[in-house]
A and B are shown apart, each in its own frame.
Chain A
């Protein structure tokens, strides 16, 4: 049974189509991440779910209720804004209880819920402070607390981590994951950061130019992207793409390669066409013997601690491969490599669709 359901939702601003026929469903307790590059319509979609942006085509259902024409306040959704949108003149306590005061929740009940949220989010020592007296991470927890106390059907987050520094972003991400696992609250989370999407989502909705590209679990999105855009958007460093052609015999020729594509890589039967071979940086090993496919001329090396990312050229094309940190590689080296072709992805060179 789906808890959140969007049916053929479209939205235009004047002549500009910001969202084009968007449909997806999510079960109760799902953590849905709307992922896509800046300007692809993620925030617009989130605001349509809240009702803050109106006048769209299609239908929206939350918890079995059709909310399409409902006022934002009646939809039982709570949102953490990118700016946190805390009320600057109110203390943390007042910020959290703002909605309850508006809705005339009795004082005792208000205090109980604020205390509960403050405990869950370690806000107890901060309750009497003003937002200006808080760090970015603390402000964010207040914004989350404000949502918690409302006990909504649906939690919405719009790029909540983008104002935090790297370390805090990681910690907060972990906290969000904990929180979700504890509360099992259905969540829709907007981000342009594929790493956040991969680590948080139970279900990723990948978007581009107002359309849904793919809906999948993070691992499936990584392993079986529907097209070249999905394959390049997910994964860091970006997937290596080698231009060439696929033969009817199931061989890929191009970029200095002439290899047989293993069974299971292609979804259908091989047909001759211009194609691109996608190989992720980890789908490779340094070749010891004469089994090398190619050699990489090393330009520079990015150590990440756990591994080394070797950036170089293969048959004139830029390529990144991941090798063990114990490998002795230096700029200028020529390294024999062997691709793990069973992990390869093949795309139609013209349409970008995965074959």
Chain B
């Protein structure tokens, strides 16, 4: 039996898609569907047979007598604030490093290292840095005297979240830097030359040429930060073990699901987080498309 060309082409496409589609279904779609299902049951993380369908009870509980479980979500604000600072710093560094000064390559590499560093190693480095007898206090003692000591990582104090947000900035700055730097490289030098001839100073060049050209890349990064700040896990887990005031929504979720054996509630929390992420994503898209529409002439 022979196939004509069109059928053959379709078969080829089908054959190529088979593997990725299978992976997608098995590794993505199935677990997500399962997550939704679990969030509607009182599954205790151990015994499937004793799980019962409870409808939206888990969700209702989250907003009533399980409300404490949602409190860690507010700590995302520390990380969100951190990532705004991080984005501004990264953009500033990228613009400076884009001036083709000697050593700019080396600087870029140094700032990127924390990002490629193993998460545990990065956590340990920052933990040592902020320890009571760590480098941060040592340096500050040079200025404020021998008695100066701050317990940066005291997880019973809310301000320890600032330390953790700083760790997060240090860890992820390199990523923003490299992405923004890439976007800057795509702007032709001629545009800056033309602007200089017309009398634009550095500041005007940034706001009138650089910023409009990297606006979308910055927005995308901000969106990633927003989502990222809802899902913070690694940094507090590795530095303070997510204790006390430093617990985040993701950490609470894991505790609920595995330590407290309340998989149904944990799944409901995960669905809630997913919903927030999706909403953030949609809002960003809307802002973005309305901006593009405004720019569209005629």
Contact = CB atoms under 8 A, between A and B. Distances in A.
Interface of A: 50, 52, 72-73, 77-79, 81-83, 85-89, 91, 98-99, 102-103, 128-130, 133, 146, 150
B197 A50 contact: yes
Interface string B184-200: 00001011011111111
A72 B209 contact: no
Interface centre among B194, B208, B295 (most CB of A within 10 A): B194
30 contacts: A52-B193, A52-B196, A52-B197, A73-B196, A73-B198, A73-B199, A77-B197, A78-B197, A79-B193, A79-B194, A81-B190, A81-B194, A85-B190, A85-B191, A86-B191, A87-B195, A87-B209, A88-B213, A91-B297, A98-B198, A98-B200, A99-B197, A99-B198, A102-B195, A128-B297, A129-B298, A133-B297, A146-B194, A146-B198, A150-B198
Contacts of B204: 102
A52 to B, nearest CB: 5
A130 B204 CA distance: 20
A130 B297 contact: yes
B212 A98 contact: no
Contacts of B298: 128-129
A94 B253 CA distance: 52
A83 B191 CA distance: 9
Contact of A87 (B191, B193, B196): B191
Classify the interface of chain B: helix, strand, loop or mixed.
Answer: helix
A217 B221 CA distance: 57
Given A88-B213, A91-B297, A98 B195 contact: yes
B297 A102 contact: no
A82 B198 CA distance: 17
Contact of B200 (A102, A130, A150): A102
A73 B196 CA distance: 6
Lowest 9 CB-CB distances: which A-B pairs, in order? A99-B198, A85-B190, A73-B199, A85-B194, A89-B212, A128-B297, A81-B190, A83-B190, A102-B199
Nearest to A76: B197
In this complex, the interface size class of chain B, counting residues with CB under 8 Å from chain A, is 10 to 19
Nearest to A85: B190
A91 B296 CA distance: 9
A116 B178 CA distance: 44
A85 B195 CA distance: 9
Interface string B208-243: 110011000000000000000000000000000000
Given A85-B188, A87-B191, A72 B213 contact: no
B193 A99 contact: no
A83 B190 CA distance: 7
A140 to B, nearest CB: 14
Contacts of A99: 197-200
Contacts of A85: 188, 190-191, 193-194
Nearest to A84: B190
A129 B296 CA distance: 9
Nearest to B188: A83
A77 B196 CA distance: 11
Given A99-B198, A146-B198, 20 more contacts: A50-B193, A50-B197, A52-B196, A72-B197, A78-B197, A79-B194, A81-B193, A81-B194, A82-B190, A85-B188, A85-B193, A86-B191, A87-B212, A98-B195, A98-B200, A102-B195, A102-B199, A130-B295, A133-B297, A146-B194
Interface string B67-101: 00000000000000000000000000000000000
